[in-house]
Structure 1
Amino acid sequence: MKMNVDNPWISKLIALFFAIVLFSFVTFENQSRNLSTDPTDGASITSSEVITNLPIDINIDRDNYFVSGIPETATIRLEGPQAILTQTLATQNFTIETPDLERLGPGSHTIELEAAGLSNQLNYSVMPSEVAVEIEEKRVEDHDVRIEFNESSHLAEGYRAQDTILSNETVTISGALSTMEQISDVMVVVMPEGSNITEDIEMTLNVLVLDETGDPLNVNISPQLIDVRIPVKGTQRTLPIVLEESGIPIEDYEYSLEVSQGEPENVTITGESDIIEELNNFVIEVDVSGITESTIRTIPLNHPDGITETNPRELDVLIRVNRVQNEEDNENDNESN
């Protein structure tokens, strides 16, 4: 039987059929999309996340064993339901850790890093997945700290370094037995900036633990940083004091200078050796400007070039004042007689 497609009713029926099919397809697609994006049904979404710089827990008795080869941090890739993953990222109540290394015992081993505390609905992979480690017996020792300082390269001429003062003269060192046996030197190197130093040196320095070739060793040091103080003193010499009048004296007055009773007759100076050796005495200038009667003045001791310190730093000087009578004064005195 031949269908008459020219019949308008048949054309309408065919159009209606395709419209129903198309409507059903679109409705099914929208329902599927709503189900997959419905926020209340997040467990149906699979997602992934990468977390970096996670510390690694080492499962071993660190008082008795020393482990080398384990990196400081690891990276983990998590995959699973979006809701579970979101909560895991928010709390981060999981850890990256090694297996029980004590069961392996001393020696070289290859281990796999593990994640602990994750939901069993999450899949994960740790990078690096495998780590080559060395497990050794641990040794703990105390060592004296040596100071290395080249004073000739840093101190000014005529200055010398005194005994160094350390915040810790000994440090505690721990490490693998085989490494500890290689310790040849425990030291700090004092390298201040600049040269011609005349003042005390104060620095905070790292403690170095070296083998006999001067290479650093993989050990733990406590404390790692220590404070170093090097007193710096110049050449000293004691010289007699010479008082010299300075300033503008008042006419018809004469002055005499002397060290006050109880004051030292000598001064100890510190400074460059070449300058000190040229001195035979220490001159102190006393300003008599405006003085008309005997008085005691405290004079600060100035530092000549090349001198950094004096002891004492100041001196009491007695200034005696006498009035000188001129001829006019004598004539007046005679007339009055």
Structure 2
Amino acid sequence: MTPVPIDRRTLIAATAAMAAVAAAGCASPSDAVRAAAAERRRPGALAHKGVNYDTERETWKLSYVRRDIKAIRRDLHCNAILLLGSDVRRLMEAARLAAGEGLYVWIEARQFEQTPERTLEFLTEIGRAAEKLRRRHPKVGISVGCELTIFMQGLVPGADWMERGANLSKPISNGYNERLNAFLPKAVKTTREVFGGKLTYSSGEWEKVVWTDFDIVGVDLYRDAKNEATYVRQVRELHSHGKPVFITEFGCCTYKGAEKRGGEGFMGVIDEDPPPPRVKPGFVRDERVQAEHIGELLDIYEAEGVSGAFVYNFSSPDTPHTDDPLYDQDIASHCIVKVRSDYARTGRWEPKLAFHTLARRYA
């Protein structure tokens, strides 16, 4: 079986990356603010109503993937999907199933901890495979990478993603945006040589991307206590590039206070040593927190004319839910469905409250 790289749950840019983003006050959005946002919803907003679907998992069975994607289209009412992964075969198997359901298929090509040269080679592989599908199903696009300053070698000093994240705000990393913007045109050129569909890039909010060569602006934009007061302005400013805007990742985990921690909400929740993994004291499961957080962000995206939103993430079979709060790893998951330890045998999952919130909003 294809080796499974580091799960995306452990790969969200950590504290040092967040420190590179300008922090602001922590005022909570009031009901009046949310109501005003709802009143300002722009026609045509959220043309792409989507979810991330991570193909990096221990258990990969097409019957399970087919069931998931049918639910994403028919029950969650998505019209788009963002497929994440490093294995071309898995990505294209999922892409064909999603295309068969009529979804707009976005493929995020990502092989973490690779050189720029290998990253370009992988984009060629993905582009060729995606183009074959696009000729039969025109609604196919590619994201040429994810937060490359951290997850690719060569832009920021560091032996791995953790070191690069820690170095982002240090003088040794000065010029990383210039290096990123020197690489991205190569990524676009490489992909366009073999692929005729639309292109975006899933950027980190600390990255200042030159979007000239892209069709769509893409940002992984989590809201937390640091940027809560400026979040709407951040979303609005994305339109300054004159292109459609996708929020390629958003959401939060499933416990009280997770809405204040955004993308880094998984950190420090689970104690994995000694096994089995246990929830640390002080973390209490609360699905309502996640559901309300996602609903508030969708209000903002609609009001600000965002063209596409992809909640992170659909499922994480490697962080199972249990009725015993001490061992409920799912509370540290951003996913909108919960799976149990029998997933490998059954493929079953249960919707969280956030699933139903999305289904109502996307319908």
What TM-score bracket applies, with the shorter chain setting the length? under 0.3
| Larger gyration radius, structure 1 or structure 2 | 1
**Which has the bigger relative contact order, CA under 8 A and spacing at least 6?**
2
TM-score by length of 1: 0.17
**By percentage of residues, which structure has more helix?**
2
TM-score by length of 2: 0.16
**By percentage of residues, which structure has more strand?**
1
